[in-house]
Structure 1
Amino acid sequence: MPCPGWELSGASGVGTPPWIVSIDHLIPLAEGWDSGASAWSPAEWKAYANDLGDGRALSVVSAASNRSEADQDPTRWLPPAESYRCQYATDRVAEKSRWSLSVDSGEEAVLAETLDRCGPADLPAPLPLGIRRC
């Protein structure tokens, strides 16, 4: 039988209550707004906020991680797992470019410093999580 919505595997194990995980915007909505989305039409904003067109835009994370990130940019928050930071920085640059969002000097410095620490084996690495729309 086809599933009626989202199918999640590998996050917290079978039987994990849904409130343990959260859907996270790679670029928080408030950060997107401050980076240029405030000039968009309502249709553009809706497309950004509900972006299923690129696997980097939305991800499944722990609810605690989503709360800790809140609406902060990389000058105030980076993923706690250092092994994911190269992927995060690469994806963030790609998404900012994809949506023509600005990058302030502090954000640029942190992203550049993060990427400078990455070796070829670090870029990009898939998340150990299976999620698909069904």
Structure 2
Amino acid sequence: MAAISSSEPKVKLSSSGICHDQTSASFNRTKNYQAFDSVAICIEQGGRLPKAKTKSIDKATDEAIEQGRAFVALYDRSDWPHWLDSDKDCQNTRHELLIKTSTKAVAFKSDKECNVLSGQWYDPYSNETFTLSTDLDLDHIVPLKFAHGRGASLWSRNQKALFANDSENLILAQASLNRQKGAKGISDWLPPNHQYRCEYITHFNKVMSKYNLAYIPSEQRIVNRLVKACSKAT
């Protein structure tokens, strides 16, 4: 089966009838194919999705039903350009924030001074101080996947890049805690440092408001209770 275009295809319909886009592990391995501009067109022409992709859609649909929100397009982290080097100085978003927030002079991994090796950073999530950059992750306070399901799925790639690199939505945190948090919102995860929780809730809500993101009703009820509890504590 020959490709219908000599340019790099966006979607390949394999000889076995499966539509592979560029996120598919089989995309580059598929040599005999018909090319299409989108998965939707490929399916219209008789193709089908890989089983893994179908399972992902089923899972996302179930999550939407469980959470009481509309189904949105599948989240793909590659759609959210992050850790950019916008000023072309070889230091990306992560390393610029490491430099900016270190409480002592940083040391770099090489003479090019692109990547930070060590410094001193306070992590409010854990209430601990770290000196090695590898002990820290750059956390999106409002996670990308969380935003995706609450209004951001319709954003352009440029809007997603702005959100993913917005310093107001970034904080250096202990790597293990960032991974524990995952894509959870404040109704499902709060920092273990109790003294920081109300500030975290306020910060999370500020970012949600800045980007006109909306909680689903079940989340909003919990968020309202958390905000009320914090107001009583001050």
Whether 1:46 aligns to 2:161 is yes
Aligned-residue RMSD, C-alpha: 1.8
1:30-69 to structure 2, matched below 5 A, reads 30-52=145-167, 54=168, 57-69=169-181
Structure 2 segments unaligned to the other structure (5+ residues): 1-90, 104-120, 123-128
Whether 1:96 aligns to 2:199 is no
How far is 1:121 from its partner?
A: 7.1
Distance 1:67 1:75 in 2: 17
Whether 1:85 aligns to 2:197 is yes
Distance 2:219 2:141 in 1: 14
How far is 1:41 from its partner?
A: 0.7
Q: Partner amino acid for 2:149?
A: D
Q: Partner amino acid for 1:77?
A: W
Distance 1:76 1:112 in 2: 14
Counterpart contact for 1:21–1:62, Cα < 8 Å: yes
Q: Partner amino acid for 2:227?
A: L
Distance 2:197 2:225 in 1: 11
TM-score of the pair, normalised by structure 2: 0.45
Counterpart contact for 2:139–2:170, Cα < 8 Å: yes
How far is 1:86 from its partner?
A: 0.9
Distance 1:86 1:98 in 2: 18
User: Which residue matches 1:111?
Assistant: 223
Q: Partner amino acid for 2:157?
A: P
Q: Partner amino acid for 1:75?
A: S
Structure 1 segments unaligned to the other structure (5+ residues): 123-134
How far is 1:45 from its partner?
A: 0.6
Whether 1:25 aligns to 2:137 is no
Q: Percent identity?
A: 27
TM-score of the pair, normalised by structure 1: 0.76
User: Which residue matches 1:71?
Assistant: 183
Q: Which moved more, 1:103-112 or 1:66-75?
A: 103-112
How far is 1:119 from its partner?
A: 4.1
Counterpart contact for 2:137–2:174, Cα < 8 Å: yes
User: Which residue matches 1:130?
Assistant: none
Counterpart contact for 1:22–1:66, Cα < 8 Å: yes
User: Which residue matches 2:6?
Assistant: none
